[in-house]
Structure 1
Amino acid sequence: MSRWIAYLFLLGVGGSLLPACQPAAPERPPNVLIILTDDQGWGDLSHSGNPHLSTPAIDGLAREGVSFDRFYVSPVCSPTRAEMLTGRYHLRGGVRGTSAGEERLDLDETTFVELFQQAGYATGAFGKWHNGMQHPYHPNSRGFDTFYGFCSGHWGDYFSPPLEENGIPVQGQGYLPDDLTEKAMNFIDAHREAPFLVYLPLNTPHSPMQVPDSWWERFENEPLDSLVAGEDPDFTRAALAMCENIDWNVGRLLEKLENLGLTEHTLVVFFTDNGPNSYRWNGGMKGRKGSTDEGGVRSPFFMQRKGHIPEGKVIRQIAGAIDLFPTLLDLAGLTHSGEKRLDGKSLKPLIMEETPSWADRMLFSHWNGNSSLRTQRYRLDKDGNLYDMESDPGQQLPVQDRYPEVAKNLRASLADWEAEMADERKKDPETRPFTLGAAEAPLTQLPARDGMGHGTIQRSNRFPNDSFFTHWVSLEDSITWEVEVLEAGDYLVEVYYTCPMEDVGSEIRLQAGENHLDTRVEEAHNPPLKGMENDRIDRMESYVKDFKPMLMGSIALKQGIQTFSLKALRIPGNQVMDVQKLLVKPIETN
């Protein structure tokens, strides 16, 4: 064979030693990992300049990816989560509170997770959901194949607490952020061969301020200079310790991706849900969690995908949580053709292009009747004061007298937006009962958070999330839940309770529409309150107990809206019992 013929064979001409020019294999769709922390302010990172802590793993995301210098979320948690999931302002999706059902995301809203799921992604969420507990508000009904964590706004114990996995009550293992991260890593491991979307909404540094000794000891006696007005040094120390634990868990996630060879295949996103949950170092910005000022809504935002996204790029244009929906779809090559208009826009041009065409825009913040507006240069606060954020990032000197036309125009824009949101709220039903018996639900939980106590019954805490009902001492007392039964049928009911030995014997009735179910408290269960043994400072939230399920029996439920009512028929002791929740499970029929 001549050298020329041999060369042709090597090229694949006339032979099969090498394949002829083959079409390139399609690029693997990127995995997505979203890390969202709870009540961690912009200033709670060493990347932001905080001198009191070290967050090398999170800082590395900014150093080896892109960071948005001015990224905005809502002043509190459930609105931010709704805006991230839908690309729309939270009031459009019916999210107008953080408990008692007001945190639920309307069922006609589409989440980006559903679109990734439809595109073949394995989807998992591990942590705090806070956009609805009962199906079809539950994360398993909003696009997630797997959910492990809790659906409430906050949790009362961070050490092996009761959680749920795909709607079934389970017991957590160890310190909660570590446990959630471990479950996320296991999910990544199990789905490493196919595209996955992992959402890790960690519960820290939200109070109660609980953190293991190994993290607390570094800060317990740490001197803090430059305290801000109103700062509680011990609260700050606990928050910083919790943030360093977060960074350690982020490092574990990144190491897992590296060990599996998935670093270049995975888009990693990190941000927080609102400003800091206490007065502490936050770059001199005005406001904290709950405020619509800069310090209440500015969040770090980092995005990394090695080999695909520029490294070390700092983006100065303003952006926000509403932009996540279109940005993630754009970067993954997916499309959205829904009927509802998005408020957010894809950030891909800012991320990928050197000189993108990008017009100035307005971002709106709202909470508790207060609204503010942010442009690239200005912030208009809830009182109509105008601030030049380039020369005055701490909002110290109003400039509406210097720029009256700017102030006039922005006030008009904010008024228009508020009017539009008021129209959106008019679409909300007057009452939104809690759903029960959805076809996809293995069971339905009706926690005390979603119920109402009547008569002498009290909540264990003024914050409904993770509270329980106590002081049930009268035959006139009742606990009610407004419920919409989605599918008629026979259901088993359990009540999670505590009751001291001397009060055993109360007879209670669950009334549901026209039907009722009677039972008797036969067994004492009187564990102590707990949580304080792990608190680093006194908490605002309810302490917790180990509640025990008691089977009440079965009841036939009709389809439709009705009131669930727990009342006592007989009280032989001083009280009936404390109640954490009802658990309602359909009876399977052949």
Structure 2
Amino acid sequence: MRPIYYLGLLLLWLTACQGHKTESSSTTSDDRPPNVIVILTDDQGWGDLSFNGNRNFETPNLDRLARESIVFDNFYVQPVCSPTRAELLTGRYFTSLGVFDTSAGGERMDSEVPTIADYFNNAGYATAAFGKWHNGMQAPYHPNARGFEEFYGFASGHWGNYFSPILEHNGEVVRGEGYLADDLTTHAISYIENHQEEPFLLYLALNTPHSPMQVPDSYWEKFRDRELRQRYAGDEPEDENFTRAALAMVSNIDDNVGRVVAQLETLELAENTIVVYLSDNGPNGWRYNGGMRGKKGSTDEGGVRSPCFIRWKGNLPAGKRLDHIASALDLFPTLANLTGLDTGRLSELDGRNIAPLLHGESQDWQDHLIFNHWNGKTSIRSQDFRLDEQGRLYEIRSDRGQLTKVNTRYPEIEAQLQAARDLWTENTLGQGVKDRPYTLGHPDYSFTHLPARDGSGFGAISRSNKYPNDSFFMGWAGLGDSIVWDVNVLEEGDFEVDLYATVKPDDVGAVIQLTHGENQVSAVLDTPHDPPLQGMNRDRVPRIESYTKEFKAFQLGTIHLEAGRDSMVLKALEVPGKGVADVRLLVFRRK
């Protein structure tokens, strides 16, 4: 059944009170609606800011942004990236969208659920996303199919190379220029300049400080030997070099946020642009985080509390701090309200419009609950308490580190939150999880990517790493080996196919075949291309992800595909050498 707004939990939790006002906020004086920029970082903890008390480094641009913004002291996201991104983009709990993993197709949001970009685009906004998507690669899950007219970045999860990597621009494979976070910001700045005469929604999803811990030398040299004045407060060991690398990457983020803000000021757009800044989950390592328990992947405070600033110069008060709890779910309806969109259409969202809080209209505010879930664990945050996944109750106002259980002191609150969790679990977990093949050939989009991470290797074929997102297939040696993708062709047609692969000189001449149902195309891998693995020379600490290499596009020819579901199979017909190829990606282009 569809979750009722906040699942009716306030009947258990609070005395009913008058609802808050829902009228849309006014637009700017010239009747042009404000622009919106949402900057989302990857694995940056609440404590990775000097504004939040971190004395290991300075983040002057972010600190300035915070001073000019409304700052949320209790803002929450989910424990890992894809769930948070799904909730930010849709205003709905990720558990009801079919999101259940961060790879292997489990990161895809229900394609029938409108996104914030759909709403803004339908209202006349130009829309763009730059950076890490991680909510589906193939249309109708691709960002271009989710309301974003412009996309530059990568659609899978973590990326293996941050220096001039292979990316995509609206589905077409391209090469980035320079350090990835800098490159994404440069595209965002150009977009702002090119669209300054019209309202725009810009989603800048930076990929750092997610591992691999790669950062330009100029930043690393500032932190390589830096003494850490503040450390992680818990019992787990802190990797100091990892912390230094993360701080260096956040320092780079700080500079790039400064570049975006400077562009708004140069173009005199600052007072007509709402800027939102947040992270997608807690820190990706044990480091200073305000004494909170947990990190990325945890449903405790340290894993889900995020910095969040909202700036709208001249319209929202600068330097105001909000104590009310809020979450990524709330940004969609709130931004719709601030920009004057028809919020009546958003009444079924799980998020709520928090614009009244931004405007200081909190006298009738109705408190609510925030649910954090991952890997079978669910915790609940109310305005004053957190009930963790083990049923331990903590009074967060006085115990942010979750050190002292208060179950016996507040048995009624414990019972209410336990009942709330049971109801939320019953109504949301598993919703939208379906048997979903990978889609190919959407009629409205030219390109479809089938990366190695979405396929399965058989025979001697194995992955380059257990974490699939930036992995490739290796070990393809004989006629009995194959790579298989579970594919549903959405509309019949002819498609040109490129295979991104590497071929050793001794293996040149292998004949390979790509098959889907009764249709097939064959080609000869007639050119050697055997570059070395890369990444280790730029990693500041050892990585856990796959190393990468430069894959060459081999043209396989044209294949006719009929609509429907079948296996896409890549296999060899002739193997004159000891092996065939390592495989990273298939790219289909509708003719």
TM-score of Structure 1 vs Structure 2, range by shorter chain: over 0.9
* Closer/same/farther in 2, CA of residues 225 and 164 from structure 1, 3 Å limit: same
CA distance in 1, matches of 2:406, 2:78: 25
Aligned to 1:399: 406
More displaced 10-residue stretch of structure 1: 381-390 or 331-340: 331-340
Contact residue 72 and residue 309 of structure 2 kept, 8 A = yes
SS of residue paired to 1:534:
coil
Aligned to 2:7: none
* Closer/same/farther in 2, CA of residues 247 and 426 from structure 1, 3 Å limit: closer
Task: Give 1:566 shift.
Answer: 0.8
Aligned residues: 561
1:373-425 CA-partner distances (Å, limit 9, x unpaired): 00011101111111111121100111112212211111111011111123xx2
Aligned to 2:88: 84
CA distance in 2, matches of 1:305, 1:25: 14
SS of residue paired to 1:439:
coil
Q: Which has more radius of gyration?
A: 1
Matched, 1:65 2:72: no
Aligned to 1:296: 303
Task: Give 1:226 shift.
Answer: 4.3
CA distance in 2, matches of 1:185, 1:98: 29
Task: Give 1:55 shift.
Answer: 0.8
1:185-235 CA-partner distances (Å, limit 9, x unpaired): 000000111111111000000000000111111110001144333210000
Aligned to 1:520: 524
CA distance in 1, matches of 2:181, 2:255: 10
1:410-465 CA-partner distances (Å, limit 9, x unpaired): 1111011111123xx25432x21111111221211100011111122110110010
Please give the TM-score of this superposition, normalised by the length of structure 2: 0.93
* Closer/same/farther in 2, CA of residues 25 and 287 from structure 1, 3 Å limit: closer
1:68-125 CA-partner distances (Å, limit 9, x unpaired): 0000000000110100011110011111111111111111111111111111111111
Matched, 1:324 2:331: yes
Task: Give 1:247 shift.
Answer: 0.5
Q: 2:381 aligns with which of 363, 374, 382?
A: 374
Aligned to 2:105: 101
Kindly report which structure 2 residues correspond to 1:444-463, keeping only aligned pairs within 5 A, or say none.
Answer: 444-463=448-467
Q: Which amino acid counterpart does residue 285 of structure 1 have in structure 2?
A: M
Aligned to 1:496: 500
SS of residue paired to 2:78:
coil
Aligned to 1:36: 40
SS of residue paired to 2:215:
coil
Aligned to 2:584: 580
Q: Which amino acid counterpart does residue 31 of structure 1 have in structure 2?
A: N
Contact residue 349 and residue 356 of structure 1 kept, 8 A = no
Aligned to 1:127: 131
CA distance in 2, matches of 1:216, 1:538: 15
Q: 2:202 aligns with which of 175, 198, 211?
A: 198
SS of residue paired to 1:203:
coil
CA distance in 2, matches of 1:436, 1:553: 17
Aligned to 1:280: 287
The higher relative CO (CA closer than 8 Å, separation ≥ 6) is in 2
Please give the TM-score of this superposition, normalised by the length of structure 1: 0.93
Aligned to 1:142: 146
Give 5+ residue unaligned stretches, structure 1. 1-23
Contact residue 95 and residue 431 of structure 2 kept, 8 A = no
Task: Give 1:157 shift.
Answer: 0.5
Task: Give 1:570 shift.
Answer: 2.2
SS of residue paired to 1:556:
strand
* Closer/same/farther in 2, CA of residues 167 and 313 from structure 1, 3 Å limit: same
Contact residue 492 and residue 555 of structure 1 kept, 8 A = yes
Matched, 1:187 2:191: yes
Aligned to 1:6: none
CA distance in 1, matches of 2:350, 2:387: 19
CA distance in 1, matches of 2:304, 2:133: 20
Contact residue 493 and residue 584 of structure 1 kept, 8 A = yes
SS of residue paired to 1:113:
helix
Q: 1:234 aligns with which of 236, 241, 251?
A: 241
Q: Which amino acid counterpart does residue 379 of structure 2 have in structure 1?
A: S
Aligned to 1:116: 120
Contact residue 38 and residue 274 of structure 1 kept, 8 A = yes
CA distance in 1, matches of 2:295, 2:387: 17
CA distance in 1, matches of 2:146, 2:431: 24
Contact residue 350 and residue 356 of structure 1 kept, 8 A = no
* Closer/same/farther in 2, CA of residues 143 and 563 from structure 1, 3 Å limit: same
SS of residue paired to 1:299:
coil
1:252-274 CA-partner distances (Å, limit 9, x unpaired): 11110001000101001000000
Give 5+ residue unaligned stretches, structure 2. 1-27
1:25-44 CA-partner distances (Å, limit 9, x unpaired): 74221011110000000000
Q: Which amino acid counterpart does residue 171 of structure 1 have in structure 2?
A: R
More displaced 10-residue stretch of structure 1: 468-477 or 326-335: 468-477
Aligned to 2:545: 541
Task: Give 1:336 shift.
Answer: 3.9
